[in-house]
Amino acid sequence: MHAFAQAETDQLFSTTSPLDIAFSISTKTIKNSKVDSVYFKEKMYYRNTAGITDSIKIGVKRRGNFRLEQCYFPPLWMKIDKKTGKNTLFEGNQKLKLVMPCDSRSENNDLILREYVCYKLYEAVTSYSFKSRLVNIDFTDEKGRKSKDYQLKGILIEDVDKTAKRCGGKTAPDARISGSALNDTCALRFDLFQLMIANTDWSKRSQHNSKLINHNSGYIPLPYDFDMSGVVDAPYSVVSQVGDDKLPIESVRERYYRGYCTSNEITQLVRKEFLSKQEKLMAVPDELKGMLSNKEIEGIKTYLEKFFEILKYDKSFEAEIVSRCRTM
C-alpha cells in the first residue's frame, strides 16, 4: 500500500517558495469558449531556479463550473508540450490546473492563500494527494487597447494522471462507483480531512471535487477545490445540498461529518494517525507568514485546533463523527 512508483525529479513541486509567472489572455474569450475547446496558445514567463526570467509556450483553456460562472478570473487548464517542457522547471508536467482568485480585490488573494493551506494540509496527511505550488501571477487581461494588468496569487496543481503514476495506480474514469470499492483507510483519511477544513462540497463516489486513482488496494480518492470550506470561508460560499436536502448547518464554518461508516479498527487507526500528525498539521499555516497576517494565521490554527479537540475525546469523537457516519 505504501510502495510508490519511482519518483521522477520534479523541480516544479520541490519547493514551497512561490513561483513568479506572467502571461496574457482574454478572460472574455476564455470564458465564452466551449468546455471542450482547443487550448489557446500563449507564452508564459517565469523565474527559473537560477532566478533568471525565462519563457515557455503553453496552451490554456477554461475549466470548472461554479467559479467559472461566479468569478471574473476563470479557473484554467494549462498544457505544456512534453518536448517544450524538457530541461525546464516544468519537465514532467504536461498538464496543470491553475487556480485564480475570484476577482481583483486584495481579499481574494488572501482566499487563494487560505485554499493553498488546505492543499498543503492534505499533502501532510497522505502522499496520495495532489502536489501544489503557490504562484505570484503578473496577469494581463487582453482587451485591445484597454488591456489591464493585475498582480494575483494563484495555485498550480499537479494533474491527476501524474499523481496516479506517482502513486502506483491509474486514473479512474469519471463514473460513479460503489462505496465498497474504495480503499477504506484512504477514504477515511479523506473524510476526516474534509471535516478538519469544514468542507462538505464533495462526493467521492460521483467524483464531485474529487478524483479517483484505480489502485490494486482499491479506489483512492483525491480531494481538490476547497473554496467552499470553512478554512477558506469565501464570501460566496454556501452550505452544500445533498440531492434536494440541505445539510443541517447554517454556515460553512460549522463542521459536519459526511464520511462513510467503517470498522472500529480502521476508524481508531486513522484517528490516531491524525492525532500523531497534529503538530505537523498545525505548522502548515506558518508557511504563509509574511503573506497572510499573523492574525489570519492564528485564526486558521485556532480553527484547526477545534478539530483536534473533537478527535481527542471519546465523547466528542462519538457524537461528532461515529454517530454521524453514513452507510454505503
Task: Check residue 4 and give its pLDDT.
Answer: 53
> Above 60 in pLDDT, residue 294?
yes
> Above 60 in pLDDT, residue 283?
yes
95-106 pLDDT, tens digit per residue, is 999 999 998 888
The DSSP call for residue 300 is H
224-263 pLDDT, tens digit per residue, is 999 999 999 999 898 987 777 788 999 999 999 999 999 9
CB 138 within 8 Å of CB 201: no
The share of the chain scoring above pLDDT 90, in percent, equals 81
The DSSP call for residue 65 is S
Report residue 324 as a C-alpha cell.
Answer: 454521524
Task: Check residue 38 and give its pLDDT.
Answer: 82
CB 63 within 8 Å of CB 97: yes
Report residue 293 as a C-alpha cell.
Answer: 497576517
Cα–Cα distance, 202 to 209 (Å, whole number): 5
CB 260 within 8 Å of CB 327: yes
The residues, any chain, with a CB within 8 Å of residue 285's CB and separated by 6 or more, are: 117, 292, 297, 300, 301, 304
Work out the average pLDDT over 8-18.
86
Helices (H) and strands (E) in the chain, counts: 10, 12
> Above 60 in pLDDT, residue 8?
no
- pLDDT mean across residues, the chain: 93
Strands (E) across 142-226 are located at 148-158, 170-171, 210-215, 218-223
Report residue 260 as a C-alpha cell.
Answer: 462513510
Task: Check residue 6 and give its pLDDT.
Answer: 44
Task: Check residue 123 and give its pLDDT.
Answer: 98
Task: Check residue 7 and give its pLDDT.
Answer: 47
More confident residue, 67 or 225: 225
Task: Check residue 68 and give its pLDDT.
Answer: 83
The DSSP call for residue 179 is G
171-219 pLDDT, tens digit per residue, is 999 888 888 899 999 999 999 999 999 999 999 989 999 999 999 999 9
3-state secondary structure of 53: strand
Cα–Cα distance, 209 to 211 (Å, whole number): 7
Task: Check residue 176 and give its pLDDT.
Answer: 86
138-183 pLDDT, tens digit per residue, is 999 998 888 999 999 999 999 999 999 999 999 999 888 888 899 9
3-state secondary structure of 62: strand
